Structure 1
Amino acid sequence: MFSRTKILFSAVMAVAAIAAATPAQAGVPESKDPIKLAVNEWTGQHLSTYIYGALLEGMGYNVDYVTAGAVPQYAAIATGNLTANPENWDNNIGDIYPKAVASGDIVLAGKLGLQTREGWIYPPYMEEKCPGLPDWKALLKCADAFGNAETFPNGRVIAYPADWGTRTTDFVKANKMPFVSVPGGSEGAMIAELKSAVAAKEPILMMFWAPHWIFAEMEFNWVEMPAYEDGCDEDPKVGPNPKAVHDCGFAQANVNKVAWKGMQAKWPAAYKLFEAYTLTNADQNAMMVEVDNKGRDVKEVAKEWVAANKAKWQPWVDAAK
């Protein structure tokens, strides 16, 4: 096993290694203006962003990391106040994103490479208290098993944080489910609530996503929801309730890299690197354990990944030349 000192040294040397790999790139950086990368609310996105940022820094670019909500970020990307986001989940996007893509103000630069899932999760012991799970219809008959003092006799489902959209609330309302949808806090707060409930074998139902390291540490099952169909959010005839919209299960995400339309012209090599850049679930899961489970600094972990994966990123850098 490498010592902590050796690991830290590798992280420090990562940017130097990238710089050494690109000595012949005349004119890079094409502009000294900073490339502004969006930092959203979850660890996986942080890692995707900081790895790409470390690669840019190694090529000589100035990089700013800007905290931005998953939905509010699109107005900033469309106007160039943010330059790019390497991990954009396209099923929780609000109204601005599709319009900005259609107008060309936001450009899609390819898929990041993650295989995703979103939906409601629960610990397996809840199946004893709610026979019929994982079928979502079982929740209509056993909502009280998921309730607490504030919601009983209705059940409680923890939704995403408020600025991630209202899909859980919409689904509950559309299907007249006897549940109260409660917005989650931060990712860390949601994980803490999952851990606390499982440790005490208390009821919990939560909107969540994969990839995520929590599935390597704890066992959860996914609620089987009605399949998403095109038009479900606009046409009441689509989905299980003919009198409501938003009554289908959740559309599953593509994870795309998105950029301001002017990025390619202003920083062409950085944009080529952006197009080539990919990560896998395995890449992210291993790093998320280090950050979320071991409490390590996300930038440090991202740079360690760069130091250990030259064989993977060197072709990306070569493609940017």
Structure 2
Amino acid sequence: MRRTTLTAAVAVLALTTGCGAADMTRQASPFANARGAKTVTLSVQSWVGAQANVAVARYLLEHELGYRVDTVQIDEVPAWDALSQGRVDALLEDWGHPEQEERYVDDKKTITRGGDLGVTGHIGWYVPTYLAKRHPDITDWRNLNKYAHLFRTAESGDKGQLMDGSPSYVTNDKALVKNLELDYQVVFAGSEAAQITQIKQFAKEKKPFLTYWYEPQWLFEKVPMTEVKLPPHEEGCDADPKEVACAYPHTPLQKYLNADFARDGGRAAAFLKRFRWTAEDQNEVSLMIAEQKLSPEEAAEKWVDGHASTWKRWLP
């Protein structure tokens, strides 16, 4: 969950590595950028929605187009370096990294835009809906200090806890707390998986919590949450990371391809450019991986079996 300021590890892979996994850019695939070979390497971000994209793309590349697909888990910003250098061929869910885009797409031209994923991402602060019903005014940021005592934890001390996920996600939260003069402490759960576990535990006990979270995300179906309204986002209000005092934007999520792969990748490159689905599609696969404990391949196969009219449009 990045993400514009994020990107995000409930899937089988992420359960073992965590959302804040070490930089894996050196884990180069032997198949990446292999011209003329029917091989593709996809970058996998550590949040389950991104893993759902890769699972379905991989399944169709292998079963419909006859490619061998390798995957490499890389954190958000290092993924751009790996993509530029050809260690991976494609990144299927980027939440907005304008500096990386300017450097690699516009200036170096080692990465090319792969088109819209079809999903709009949004990061925000959320409280459980059961708490919002008890205290309706808690969903206005100007009233958060009034309720800070409800969110105190051992980690936050005498301040309220604002729970974030992985430190690897780009986040404005520390700046927001400071610039909005909020009596809160940002506490990192460590990964998306750890954050989900904590949210579920709070919800089971009907405890108050305030958390950085994002849409689309399957957890909303299990734990209803209500967004806290921050000062409205306006163009440029988050240009200086230290001065941010506005809400996160709504971001159409984008795909990016290594420039050589985009030119020479044949049907695989054409397929990935045409890959486009909805938040509902992504959440359906994510839920199978995260809650039903299907492997990514099993979840992808189940989704593919039921959505032929969608994915057949992606085939070149």
**1:99 corresponds to which residue?**
103
Within-5 A mapping of 1:152-301? 152-234=157-239, 245-301=243-299
Measure the CA separation in 2 of the matches of 1:283 and 1:259.
Answer: 22
Secondary structure at the counterpart of residue 231 of structure 1: coil
| Offset at residue 215 of structure 1 (A) | 1.3
Give the alignment's TM-score, normalised by structure 2.
Answer: 0.82
Structure 1: tracts of 5 or more residues without a match: 1-28, 237-243
Distance 1:125 1:312, change over 3 A: closer
1:107 deviates by: 1.4
Map Cα deviations across residues 2-49 of structure 1 (whole Å, 9 max, x no partner): xxxxxxxxxxxxxxxxxxxxxxxxxxx972163210011111111101
Q: Measured at CA, do residues 303 and 133 of structure 1 come closer, stay the same or move farther in structure 2, by a change above 3 Å? A: same
Q: Which aligned pairs between 1:19-34 and structure 2 lie closer than 5 A? A: 31-32=36-37, 34=39
Q: Offset at 1:131?
A: 5.7
| Mapped contact 2:141–2:228 kept (Cα < 8 A) | yes
Q: Percent identity?
A: 27
Is the 8 Å Cα contact of residues 49 and 87 (structure 1) preserved in structure 2? no
Given that residues 166 and 191 in structure 2 are in contact (C-alpha distance below 8 angstroms), is that contact kept between their aligned partners in structure 1?
yes
CA distance in 2, matches of 1:315, 1:217: 32
What letter is aligned with 1:108? R
Which residue identity does 2:103 align to in structure 1?
A: K
Indicate conservation of the 8 Å contact 1:30/1:267, yes or no: yes
Please report the RMSD computed on the Cα atoms of aligned residues, expressed in angstroms. 2.2
- Displacement of 1:222: 0.4
Paired residue for 1:149, among 135, 147, 154? 154
Any gaps of 5 or more consecutive residues in structure 2? 1-33
* CA distance in 1 between partners of 2:62 and 2:36 (Å): 13
Q: Could you state the TM-score of these two structures normalised by the residue count of structure 1?
A: 0.81
> Are residue 84 (structure 1) and residue 82 (structure 2) matched?
no
Name the CA distance, whole Å, in 2 between partners of 1:270 and 1:134. Answer: 45
Mapped to 2, the partners of 1:261 and 1:171 lie a distance apart of 37
Deviations 1:61-111, CA, capped at 9 Å, x for gaps? 221100111222111112211110122222xx3743432222222211111
- Name the residue aligned to 1:67: 73
| Number of aligned positions between the proteins | 281
